[in-house]
Amino acid sequence: MADAEEPEKKRRRIEDLTDKMAVDGGHRISGCSWDGRWNHVRKFLERPGPFTHPDFEPSPESLQFLLETCKILVIGAGGLGCELLKNLALSGFRLIDVVDMDIIDVSNLNRQFLFRSNDVGRPKAEVAAEFINSRIPGCKVLPHFKKIQDFDDSFYRQFHIIVCGLDSIIARRWMNGMLISILSYDEGVLDPSSIIPLIDGGTEGFKGNARVILPGMTACIDCTLELYPPQINFPMCTIASMPRLPEHCIEYVRILQWPKETPFGDTSLDGDNPEHIQWVFERAQERAAEFSIPGVTYRLTQGVVKRIIPAVASTNAVIAAACATEVFKIATSAYIPLNNYLVFNDVDGLYTHAFEAERKENCTACSQVPQDLQFPPSAKLQEILEYLTENSSLQMKSPAITTVLEGKNKTLYLQSVKSIEERTRPNLCKTLKELGLSDGQELAVADVTTPQTVLFKLNFTA
């Protein structure tokens, strides 16, 4: 009996020890490890469970994948970006690139916790990377002090997952468009290996949202463009002659008085220059006094001129946490990812709501369906331009319209280059017929909101 027991006991003892080690002991990877370092993470990678993703297989190799192979791109090193870098680093990700074109400002310090007052003026991406790499041994964050538009598809293709903490809808749409442009189709069927998941987070005061986008498969940014209503600007007649609110007085100075009086020479109004804001503030006070309007303050002036959105650490922490959880789920197949949109609001208690945003059949970005432009031949080109900018599903900023006429490329209108703008401006007053356009004509439209031109088909109405 004793002899039979021994090998069984021995086997169990060894198993026990190995099990204990598997949880307690760190794998000696890259020499940046200590006992128990990844215990909290490994329970989700090395144990089976009832709620895991159908593709999930517990394995000690998953951690290795995170530590040594999985490449993540973080876009933005601000309120969300700092949180994302921390969250990813402490979840086992080490190969992280971060892109941000901004430098640090003192007003960032209340929430962008990787920066200190000494860092003001330095590039966010660089300081963030330095801090994370120094605080989290083994983490290799690579900074890029650049705009996202400075990179082409060859840069973006190298990443397994991209996570955005941007503060601009234009930039989001551009990123969205980039990932859609690198999708490959085999005889009309999407090749899943060309999909780079995009996790997108956004916050404003006490509200935030996080979404999971699988380009070509799930709703993209442009599919739900109506969720981002265009910014309301005050009507010019109110600003010019009928102010009622302190904001109207401030806008008057910014839009009309500054260009007229050029108080600091030929420089444009710089919201970050306290002298400029002080000038606007004083003139706005004068205008307000003229109309007996109360409420013009320095803080309000700055807020209006810079279009400041209030921000706190807590909302960014919540949204970045949700985003990082999704990155982890997708990278490891540990759980089924969010499908696909989460909203959060903690003004009154805490409110979350997760729902599936639907793809738009004729989405300008991801549907591959040429967009329909319905206009009579007597319509002026100006009307098409207005449609492209004002339509809530398009919301283009300064579209450049080109077409092919008599076998040659012709620019119908382009705003961003002064000489071309002047040359093509008369076209705006011409009718589509006068411009030589015919029914079914294809117009190629380029805009900052997308890295690829969008094709439109002209459909003449009566």
Partner 1 sequence: ATMAATKASKEQKYDRQLRLWGDHGQETLENAHVCLINATATGTEILKNLVLPGIGAFTIVDGHTVSGEDAGNNFFLSNNSIGRNRAQAATELLQELNGDVSGNFVEESPDKLLDNDPEFFHRFTIVIGVQLPESTCLRLGSVLWNASVPFLICKTYGLIGYMRLVVQEHTVIESHPDNALEDLRLDQPFEEFKNHTNSYDLDSMDKKDHSHTPWIIIVAKYLEKWLSEHNDQLPKNYKEKEAFRQTIREGIIKTDGGVPEDEENFEEAIKNVNTALNLTKVCGVIQLIFYHSSCVCRVFSLIHLPVRGTIPDMIADSQKFINLQNVYREKAMQDAAAVSKHVECLLRSVGKPPESISEKDIKLFCKNASFLRVVRCRSLAEEYSVDSVNKDEIASYMDNPDSEMVFYLMLRAVDRFYQQHSRYPGVYNYQVEEDINKLKVCVNSLLQEYSLSVNIKDDYIHEFCRYGAAEPHTVSAFLGGSAAQEAIKIISHQFVPFNNTFIYNAMSQTSATFQL
Catalytic entry in 164, 237, 249, 366: 237
Q: Which of 158, 135, 136 is nearest to 144 (CA)?
A: 158
| Near partner 1 in 351-370, by CB under 8 A | 352, 354
Tell me the C-alpha distance between 286 and 296, whole Å: 10
Q: Which of 141, 111, 109, 146 is nearest to 128 (CA)?
A: 141
Q: State both tokens at 347.
A: 């003004």
* Binding residue count for partner 1, defined by CB under 8 A: 81
| Near partner 1 in 158-197, by CB under 8 A | none
Give the x-and-dash track for 5-44 against partner 1 (CB under 8 A): ----------xx--xx-xxx-x-------xxxxxxxx-xx
Stretch that binds partner 1, among 108-116, 220-228, 364-372, 390-398 (CB under 8 A): 108-116
Tell me the C-alpha distance between 332 and 326, whole Å: 10
Q: Could you say whether residue 291 binds partner 1 (CB under 8 A)? A: yes
Least distance from partner 1 to the Cβ atom of residue 123, Å: 20
Angle at CA 256, nearest 5°, toward 251 and 259? 120
DSSP 31: T
Q: Could you say whether residue 310 binds partner 1 (CB under 8 A)? A: yes
Q: Could you say whether residue 342 binds partner 1 (CB under 8 A)? A: yes
Stretch that binds partner 1, among 187-195, 214-222, 236-244, 413-421 (CB under 8 A): 236-244
Task: Name, in order, each residue with C-beta under 8 angstroms of 402's C-beta and a sequence gap of 6 or more.
Answer: 409, 410, 411, 412, 414, 443, 444, 445, 446, 453
Least distance from partner 1 to the Cβ atom of residue 154, Å: 31
Stretch that binds partner 1, among 82-90, 121-129, 163-171, 426-434 (CB under 8 A): 82-90
Site for partner 1 (CB under 8 A): which residue of 1, 51, 232, 265?
51
Site for partner 1 (CB under 8 A): which residue of 62, 224, 316, 364?
316
Tell me the C-alpha distance between 214 and 198, whole Å: 6
Which strands sit side by side in the sheet containing 400-405, from one edge to the other? 371-375, 450-460, 442-447, 400-405, 408-413
Q: Could you say whether residue 245 binds partner 1 (CB under 8 A)? A: yes
CA distances in angstroms from 34 to 44, 45, 59, 75, listed in the order given: 19, 18, 20, 30
Q: Would you say 184 or 352 has its CB closer to partner 1? A: 352
* 237 catalytically annotated: yes
| Near partner 1 in 386-445, by CB under 8 A | none
Q: Would you say 37 or 410 has its CB closer to partner 1? A: 37
Rounded to the nearest 5°, which phi and psi values hold at 190?
A: -65, 130
Task: Name, in order, each residue with C-beta under 8 angstroms of 185's C-beta and a sequence gap of 6 or more.
Answer: 191
Is cis: bond before 340, omega within 30 of 0?
A: yes
Least distance from partner 1 to the Cβ atom of residue 111, Å: 6
Stretch that binds partner 1, among 96-104, 133-141, 389-397, 398-406 (CB under 8 A): 133-141
- Which amino acids are annotated catalytic? 237
